[in-house]
Structure 1
Amino acid sequence: MRKLIYGMNLTLDGYIAAPGDDIGWSGPSDELFEWWLDQVRASSLSLYGRKLWETMSSYWPTGDQQPNATPAEIEFARVWRDMPKVVFSSTIDQVDWNTRLVTGDAVAEITRLRAEDGGPMDIGGATLAGAAMRAGLIDEYTLATYPVLLGSGTPFFTALDNWVNLNLVETRTFPGGVVLTRYETKR
């Protein structure tokens, strides 16, 4: 069975984006960017909701060609393009860059993918991850918490029907006061 990991940058009050999908507060330090790059390298499949897919696919296919791209950004673009991806959406009809589109039941497909043999999968996008969270499919939560308060926006966590007990497996502080915490779900 594959491990399903939900990880994103978020604010201290739990938002992944300000109103209007503004993520301008979340520019990572070089050290944190390298950490996220290592996570992407370790993943065998990325699952995206439509909004996050549109954000990622609008930049990373050519991110390595940007004039001021760092070596880590060049590597991230290469890894991102090559990595198998699944996008869950009923409003788009085409995806590229080693990506498959799923328009049906996201929870059923994530359950099927999770039951397969293979390396870890990461999931991104608040709505998609929220559905997987409510279905009890998330095995690990990775939070890179920024020292900023937004007061509103898109929350990292969704409303749940039941408690989810977690084990802390890592903490680390990055430049700018960003605190990384990783939790595994107690099963």
Structure 2
Amino acid sequence: MRPLRYAINVTLDGCVHHEAGVAPDDELMRFWTDQMDNSDAELYGRVTFEMMREAWKRPDDGVWPDWMDAGEQEFADTLDRAKKYVVSNTLDEVDWNAELVQGDLAEAVRRLKEQPGKGLSVGGVALSRSLADLGLIDEYIFVVHPIVAGHGPYLFEGLRERIGLELVERREFRSGAVAQVYRRAEESGE
């Protein structure tokens, strides 16, 4: 069974708005590109899918915009090629190498996890909270930025129950951001 990994940027006060952290540099872009390379597919809710597609889908003319540096282009190339699953009850179809996931969320994601491979990566806010509530996330990758945003949306806001995690990896970046990788803690029976 392949693991489901939740990966997201977060500020010190828990804000997960995509513009709240430090500006991504080459080191952070490489980290996120490596995370995608370590997954068979990306799993998004509709809102995150549409935001990512707008920012990172290869333009029709095949030329990346001038604002992208080499690291951003590598990230964009990797994401553009990646298989994507989109959880939505409002979309009828998707493009960008994506497939719709509809119906019972828990059953659909369990089927995806049962397939062989390196793993699945989920991002965003609402879908990830739902998957955490269902106990379907195996690993959590938080890149914590040295910023207090003072606003939300907040990481796991509205989560129904506490989730025990154990730290398995930690990496510091020159920007001051710190990647922390956690796995679900084994139930102690308490």
TM-score (norm 2): 0.88
The answer to whether the Cα contact below 8 Å between 1:10 and 1:26 also exists between their aligned partners in 2 is: no
Aligned CA distance change for structure 1 residues 165 and 25 (closer, same or farther; 3 Å)? closer
Quote how far apart the aligned CAs of 1:26 are.
Answer: 4.2
Determine the C-alpha separation between the residues in 1 that align with 2:164 and 2:137: 12
Determine the C-alpha separation between the residues in 2 that align with 1:53 and 1:157: 19
Taking only aligned residues, the RMSD between alpha carbons, in angstroms, comes to 1.8
2:38 equivalent to 1:42: yes
What is the letter of the counterpart of residue 10 of structure 1?
V
The answer to whether the Cα contact below 8 Å between 2:102 and 2:108 also exists between their aligned partners in 1 is: no
* Percentage of matched positions with identical amino acids: 37
* Deviations 1:51-79, CA, capped at 9 Å, x for gaps: 11111100211276111422222222222
Quote how far apart the aligned CAs of 1:24 are.
Answer: 4.9
Equivalent residue, structure 2, for 1:52: 48
Equivalent residue, structure 2, for 1:15: 15
2:74 equivalent to 1:78: no
More strand, by proportion: 1
Where do residues 40-119 of structure 1 align in structure 2 (5 Å cutoff)? Answer: 40-62=36-58, 65-119=64-118
Query: Could you say what secondary structure the match of 2:34 adopts?
Result: helix
TM-score (norm 1): 0.89
- Aligned partner (choices 17, 28, 32) of residue 32 of structure 1: 28
Determine the C-alpha separation between the residues in 2 that align with 1:151 and 1:68: 28
Determine the C-alpha separation between the residues in 2 that align with 1:177 and 1:25: 11
Query: Could you say what secondary structure the match of 2:58 adopts?
Result: helix
The answer to whether the Cα contact below 8 Å between 1:106 and 1:128 also exists between their aligned partners in 2 is: no
* Deviations 1:146-175, CA, capped at 9 Å, x for gaps: 111223311222444443222211111112
Query: Could you say what secondary structure the match of 2:73 adopts?
Result: helix
Equivalent residue, structure 2, for 1:177: 176
Determine the C-alpha separation between the residues in 2 that align with 1:75 and 1:130: 29
The answer to whether the Cα contact below 8 Å between 2:11 and 2:20 also exists between their aligned partners in 1 is: no
Equivalent residue, structure 2, for 1:4: 4
Determine the C-alpha separation between the residues in 1 that align with 2:120 and 2:91: 22
- Greater shift after overlay, 122-131 or 149-158? 149-158
- Greater shift after overlay, 132-141 or 22-31? 22-31
The answer to whether the Cα contact below 8 Å between 1:144 and 1:178 also exists between their aligned partners in 2 is: yes
More helix, by proportion: 1
